[in-house]
Amino acid sequence: MRNLFWDTRILDNRAKEEFLLPSEILMENAARGMAEFLTQRFSLDSKILIVCGNGDNGGDCLALARMLIGKYALKVFLPLGVKSHLAKTQLKCLQACDSSIFFSSLEESDLSSFNLIIDGIFGIGFKGEFSPQMQNLITLLNHTKAIKIACDIPSGIDLYGNPQFLNSTPFAFKADFTLTMGALKNALFSDYAKDFVGEVHCMELGISESLFAPNSTFKLLESRDFKAPRREFQNCNKGSFGHLSIFGGEKSGASVLSALAGLRIGAGLVSLIHHSPPSNLPYEIMHSPSLPTNTTAIALGMGFGRDNFLPLKSLQNFPNTPILLDADIFYHRDFKTLIQTFSNLILTPHPKEFSVILKALENKDLTTDSIQKNRICLAQEFSLQHPNTTLVLKGANSLIAKNGEIYLNPLGSNALAKGGSGDVLAGIIAGFLAQNYPSLQSCIQGVLAHSLCARNFLQKNADFSLSPLDLITQIRYL
């Protein structure tokens, strides 16, 4: 798990004030980190184009160019000139080393021979819109076959992780690698940024990341954070691992998928709660018309139906039992009552469902698009206003919000964009809940398990072929 920050320029200032590292040294270390990354991965016969902006992001890349002279065939393009003091200094140093490497203008024909293109046009502080000149330049760079590397953040992605939008289409420099400076930024892990950042690597600036980037309320989850359920004692029985109760409804397939996932992740008992058992109920899933008295976790909403009768009185007999809410229940007339009644709730909406939740609980009218552009801030604000809930906001980079803390999961895959994947996720999280995991840990471990199952499947199979049952099968290999 690693710390994330909105704006690392604050950390730069701290490094200067507390660790006495001037901006010049920070820039040299940024360039040195990028140079080492390149020399370790790309052969010395590579031809590299570095496109530098007029600010400190461009200054980082001018310093990089100086370090690469004599190692690679190198060209530098300055479409905006230079403005910042550091960039001007780095330009003078580069010119003193080799004044022949600069392009005065850049045409499409100039780009075909480059193996690598490095984007240092705009940094994390980018605001506003692209000029026609910049739009054309980035379009030109994106269309090349070269490997593309962004310095700090792909040009066009702003502080909140939002790209430019051209005719409603996201647009920015499309990197294969992003080499970010000092610490990881929230913006790199927004849903919209996922198609532009490629692999993200953090370059140290002369001090370790743990010292440069202190504790943050924003965390990036890593695969090593996943801890599979462990059965440590032999003297146990099925009741030792909890009883998960899942409400059925109009579409039994969704609740059955959740039940199978909960059982596979380790719940000792799983019951489907419905007035009559569905014809497709697997043998290993029990059926009950009402909540069993030994229920340790409840899941509600998957295929339940938006107008189906909800037995609130029955639920109120389990006031301290954790309840996971998903899908149809967010549209249900009793949803607000559930939020007001129970003290340990997990909500697992996708962005459209989150807009319904915000309307029901806070009377906010937000489109799905506006939620996607502000998902981290909105999730954090929601978690502070509703401390009895743990929110899992699904997406390209699903996030978990609890009492103002945010955990971002970058391990998800487009293979999960299939009907039923969310039902499996709900079942996995609820399976952890049933085994007495705290709500936050159930969500963290459940989200990671879900993503890692997809990743394991994709090692041998096509991304478009993943089914919910494939995900459930993969749980056994975690």
What does the DSSP assignment read for 111-145?
Answer: HTT-SEEEEES--TT--S---HHHHHHHHHHHTS-
- Type and span of the H or E element at 147: strand 147-151
CA nearest 203: which of 427, 370, 423, 36? 36
Q: Determine the pLDDT at residue 364.
A: 93
Spatial separation of the C-alpha atoms in residues 411 and 108, rounded to whole Å: 35
Spatial separation of the C-alpha atoms in residues 402 and 355, rounded to whole Å: 18
Q: How far is residue 152 CA from its own chain's centroid?
A: 17
Q: Determine the pLDDT at residue 290.
A: 93
Mean pLDDT confidence for 116-129: 88
Q: Determine the pLDDT at residue 67.
A: 93
Q: Determine the pLDDT at residue 17.
A: 82
Mind listing the pLDDT tens digit for each residue in 285-324? Answer: 999 999 999 999 999 999 999 999 999 988 999 999 999 9
Q: Determine the pLDDT at residue 76.
A: 93
Local confidence band at 61 (pLDDT 50, 70, 90 cut-offs): very high
Spatial separation of the C-alpha atoms in residues 50 and 120, rounded to whole Å: 7
The two tokens of residue 307 are: 């107008």
The answer to which of 127-136, 235-244, 381-390 has the lowest mean pLDDT is 127-136
The count of C-alpha atoms lying within 13 angstroms of the C-alpha of 440, restricted to the half-sphere facing its C-beta, is 12
Percent of the chain beyond pLDDT 90? 76
Contact criterion met (CB below 8 Å) for 441 and 344: no
Amino acid (1-letter code) at residue 75: K
Q: Determine the pLDDT at residue 230.
A: 87
On the question of pLDDT at 171 being above 90, the answer is yes
Q: Determine the pLDDT at residue 98.
A: 86
Q: In what order do the strands lie in the sheet with 345-347?
A: 184-185, 2-5, 218-220, 405-408, 399-402, 389-393, 345-347, 323-325, 297-300, 243-247, 269-273, 286-288
Query: Which range has the top average pLDDT, 130-144, 157-171, 345-359?
Result: 345-359
Amino acid (1-letter code) at residue 186: N
Contact criterion met (CB below 8 Å) for 324 and 430: yes
Mind listing the pLDDT tens digit for each residue in 359-417? Answer: 999 999 999 999 999 999 999 999 999 999 999 999 999 999 999 999 999 999 999 99
Q: Determine the pLDDT at residue 210.
A: 80
Max CA distance (Å), the chain: 82
Q: For the chain, how big is the Rg over CA atoms in Å?
A: 26
On the question of pLDDT at 108 being above 80, the answer is no
Average per-residue pLDDT in the chain?
93
On the question of pLDDT at 458 being above 80, the answer is yes
Q: CA torsion, points 373, 199, 443, 452, in degrees to nearest 10?
A: 140
Q: Determine the pLDDT at residue 107.
A: 76
Q: Determine the pLDDT at residue 127.
A: 81
On the question of pLDDT at 346 being above 90, the answer is yes
Place of tokens 């203008």: 105
Q: Model pTM?
A: 0.91
Local confidence band at 219 (pLDDT 50, 70, 90 cut-offs): very high
